[in-house]
Copies of this chain bind each other. A is one copy, B any other.
Amino acid sequence: MKIKRETMKGNKDVLWPDFNTPRTDLAVEARDIATRRLGVQEIPGVISETASTKHTTISRVKVINEQGERALGKVQGNYVTIESPDLTSQSRDVQQEIAQVFAQEFNGLVHLAGNATVMCCGLGNWQATPDALGPRVVEKIMITRHLYGMTPKELRGGMRPVCAIAPGVLGITGMETGEVIQGIVNMIRPDLVVVIDALAARSTNRVGTTIQMGDTGISPGSGVGNRRIGITRQTLGVPVVAIGVPTVVDAITIASDAMDLLSEMQGAKPAGAVPYPGPGGPAYGVPSEQKQYLMRQLLQPYMGDLIVTPKEIDDIIEEVSRVVAAGLNAALHPNMDWDRVLEYLS
């Protein structure tokens, strides 16, 4: 049982770090923002490439040094984004295509032995819909570790030993997600940990259209639920692939952008205006302290706990979790035929 909200209310009013650098958990958005802010085509320390299939666009962003880390606010490593406006289309063919792209990109990020044990962790709070993506994916993953030992070698046919858990969130368990996972990892000793989490995006058009995967694990403070500690190769001692899907935009981001867009349109450059990474290059946004004053009127008493999400978020979570689970099942059990993978979608 969760302790009543008041107990936490203290930090509702906490100052947003800086209203002019709204939060995004997506490397591809961070890259675009940095590009606009810096007014450059290529960001030093960051290598980008894109590819596409019939229904998807694939962006691969590699942060190669500290300069890139500072520019993007992301640690060194590989980030792949798969975008498709049809991600939640309910079309079997399109979902299969996206799941195949997912499996290929996953296998490009991490190289697994045929008999590698994989542990999947669905982060987030299953009682809070926009944060429930991880637990919903994990329900659909094909669990085989407990059968692997009993299955004769010749029948395993491209099946790897896979186990999974949804460890819950701090408010529900009283334990840091990272503590729970680390304890289990120490017992099970998997060769790879895959964490799946719901993310906050900068822009509403990312919600339900984008899947990110990366080989750097989960950073503290990211995700809809703002995980407090990181879940990374450093903390766990095994490689960690993080899968993230934007399901919300912070209300603060929407309100801040609304003000900046208006300010930009009006061509106003009020005293204290700061350069804002507008769509057409640097513009002048509204000073952070003005925003903060207005936010208090607009978003009280919840402030940073307000999210923007489509009404149909329950459906979006269900459909995206089907595609992600199908992609993971295909990547982890490589020789299964697609009909079987799709059978397991639901």
Contact = CB atoms under 8 A, between A and B. Distances in A.
Residue in A85, A145, A325 whose Cβ sees the most chain B Cβ within 10 Å: A145
Residue in A261, A286, A325 whose Cβ sees the most chain B Cβ within 10 Å: A261
Residue in A263, A299, A311 whose Cβ sees the most chain B Cβ within 10 Å: A311
A168 B145 CA distance: 14
A187 B305 CA distance: 30
A342 B188 contact: no
Contacts of A346: 322, 345-346
A262 interface: yes
A312 B256 CA distance: 22
Interface of A: 1-7, 85, 88-92, 127-131, 139-147, 161-165, 167-168, 170-176, 179-180, 182-188, 204-205, 207, 224-225, 251, 254-259, 261-263, 265-266, 268, 270, 279, 286, 290, 293-294, 297-302, 305-315, 322, 325, 339-340, 342-346
19 contacts: A1-B141, A3-B142, A5-B312, A5-B315, A90-B343, A128-B313, A146-B176, A161-B174, A163-B175, A164-B174, A165-B167, A180-B187, A183-B187, A204-B298, A254-B299, A255-B255, A259-B259, A306-B308, A306-B309
B3 A144 contact: yes
B186 A186 contact: yes
A88 B170 CA distance: 20
Contacts of A127: 314-315
